[in-house]
């Protein structure tokens, strides 16, 4: 394989490649931007409405509501359900801090349960926590982490049997399926993010809720806009969390139409990693049963020294990341804030200690993928 030297620099393999995105979609993005400028309508207009319809149709859920970011989407879902002050919410500690923060911002108490071998919330642990806290837990917030789908059939059964609300965090898994059903399908309201690194990323911040019914859609839509039901009529205390017309136009016209092809490319890369990575120093993370993953990330677990592995990749000009080095339950922000842990969270901690995310995205060439594989396989 090609070793980089001072005289022979090797092109880096990036974790995200926004310049290539611009090279591929710049013309369509510019056209969409111009359309909004020429329309003279900049906030909550036809672009957001059209994008919401296209997005809902793409994922196969009845309604979508565009908001300012994924964190707000989760908070709004909590508020629509009235899960606030004093409510306990079961969630995973292995996620972006936003998942935990949304629970806290709604006034509720995050209660952390461990994850399974795929890094997803352990539904057996959820059920035993629900039995232990009989009646105290109002909601469960699972995260479809890494692009893998948590079992939606089981989530639905848990919701029914234990009388808890499910709010799925789909920020990393747009388009993923479980038992052939879209993620989000087990929730009356589920959430996603269009942060630029996401599988469907805007050119800035953005997010959405998915709603299963019109009343939930309308409630979420009013909360994103000061709680208005119609102009200057405020039925509830809302927030300002509107998706810009510009971002909606960019997403609908240029990026959403490419999402299926982008997902297909991620799946091809994941398939190569899964069949060709064979270093004893790294362990693959299993895709959960019944999940059709969209491979937002490609996590591996390092046996031995994780930093030595990342340095080795860096020497071969391959970027990597850690998702996540600190569990949300161990973040300093939670000091003095009501929260709870069920058990020692040992599997989640093992991910925090050993996980490394390899590059996986639409703009990696076959040559890039071969370089990642060769670099991993030469690590001892």
Q: Which residues lie near ligand PLP (CB under 6 A)?
A: 69-71, 95-96, 98-99, 143, 169, 171-172, 193, 195, 205, 207
Tell me if 189 sits within 8 A of 210, measured CB to CB: yes
CB nearer ligand PLP, residue 298 or residue 309: 298
Could you tell me the sign of the dihedral formed by the alpha carbons of 131, 147, 17, 8, in that order? positive
Minimum distance of ligand PLP from residue 87's CB (angstroms): 19
The token duo for 45 is: 């207009």
How many C-beta atoms surround the C-beta of residue 265 within 10 A?
Answer: 17
d(CA 260, CA 271): 16
In the complex with ligand PLP, which residue's Cβ is closer, 93 or 371? Answer: 93
Nearer to ligand PLP, 95 or 291 (CB): 95
Q: Name which of 194 and 309 has its Cβ closer to ligand PLP.
A: 194
How does DSSP assign 18-59, residue by residue?
HHHHHHHHHHHHHHHHHHHHHHT--BSSHHHHHHHHHHHHHH
CB of 171 to ligand PLP, least distance (A): 3
At which residue do the structure tokens 């001892």 appear? 380
Question: 324-346 b/e with 16+ CB inside 10 Å = b?
Answer: beebbbeeeebeeeebebbeebe
**165 vs 174: CA distance, rounded Å:** 21
DSSP state of 111: E
DSSP string, 135-146: TTEEEEE-B-GG
User: Within a 10 A sphere around the Cβ of 232, how many other Cβ atoms?
Assistant: 6
- Nearer to ligand PLP among residue 172 and residue 376 (C-beta): 172
| DSSP three-state, residue 160 | helix
Burial of 294: CB neighbours in 10 Å, binned 0-12, 13-18, 19+: buried
**Of 208 and 375, which has the nearer Cβ to ligand PLP?**
208
Between 66 and 207, CB nearer to ligand PLP: 207
Strand partners of residue 149: none
User: What minimum distance in Å lies between the beta carbon of 96 and ligand PLP?
Assistant: 4
Q: CB of 73: closest distance to ligand PLP in angstroms?
A: 8
Please identify the residue of the shown chain whose CB is closest to the bound ligand PLP.
70
Q: List the structure tokens of 323.
A: 């998702």
d(CA 147, CA 375): 24
- Residues sharing a CB contact under 8 Å with residue 171, sequence separation 6 or more, in sequence order: 70, 96, 98, 143, 191, 192, 193, 195, 198, 207
Contact between 207 and 191 under an 8 Å Cβ cutoff? The reply is yes
Nearer residue to ligand PLP within complex by CB, 296 or 339: 296
195 vs 273, beta carbon nearer ligand PLP: 195
């Amino acid at each position: 394989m090609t070793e980089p030297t001072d005289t022979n620099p090797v092109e880096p393999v990036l974790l995200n490649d926004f310049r290539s995105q611009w090279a591929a979609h710049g013309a369509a993005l510019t056209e969409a931007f111009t359309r909004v400028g020429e329309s003279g309508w900049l906030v909550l207009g036809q672009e957001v409405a059209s994008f919401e319809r296209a997005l809902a149709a793409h994922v196969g859920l009845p309604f979508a509501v565009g908001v300012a970011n994924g964190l707000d989407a989760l908070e709004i879902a909590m508020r629509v359900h009235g899960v606030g002050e004093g409510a306990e919410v079961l969630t995973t500690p292995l996620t972006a801090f936003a998942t935990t923060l949304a629970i806290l911002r709604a006034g509720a108490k995050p209660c952390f349960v461990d994850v399974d071998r795929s890094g997803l919330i352990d539904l057996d642990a959820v059920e035993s926590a629900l039995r232990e806290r009989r009646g105290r837990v109002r909601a469960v917030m699972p995260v479809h982490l890494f692009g893998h789908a948590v079992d939606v059939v089981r989530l639905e059964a848990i919701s029914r049997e234990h009388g808890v609300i499910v709010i799925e965090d789909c920020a990393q898994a747009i388009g993923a399926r479980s038992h052939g059903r879209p993620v989000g399908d087990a929730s009356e309201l589920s959430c996603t993010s269009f942060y630029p690194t996401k599988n469907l990323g805007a050119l800035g911040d953005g997010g959405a809720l998915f709603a299963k019914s019109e009343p939930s859609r309308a409630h979420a839509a009013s909360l994103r806009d000061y709680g208005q039901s119609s102009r200057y009529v405020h039925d509830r205390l809302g927030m300002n969390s509107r998706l810009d017309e510009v971002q909606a136009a960019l997403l609908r016209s240029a990026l959403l139409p490419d999402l299926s092809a982008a997902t297909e490319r991620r799946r091809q890369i994941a398939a190569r990693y899964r069949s060709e990575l064979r270093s004893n120093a790294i362990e693959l993370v299993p895709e959960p049963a019944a999940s059709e993953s969209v491979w937002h990330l490609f996590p591996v677990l390092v046996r031995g020294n994780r930093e030595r592995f990342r340095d080795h990749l860096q020497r071969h000009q391959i970027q990597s990341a850690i998702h996540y080095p600190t569990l949300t339950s161990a973040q300093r922000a939670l000091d003095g804030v009501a929260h709870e842990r069920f058990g020692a969270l040992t599997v989640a901690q093992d991910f925090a200690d050993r996980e490394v995310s390899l590059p996986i995205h639409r703009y990696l060439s076959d040559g890039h993928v071969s370089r990642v594989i060769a670099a991993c396989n030469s690590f001892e």
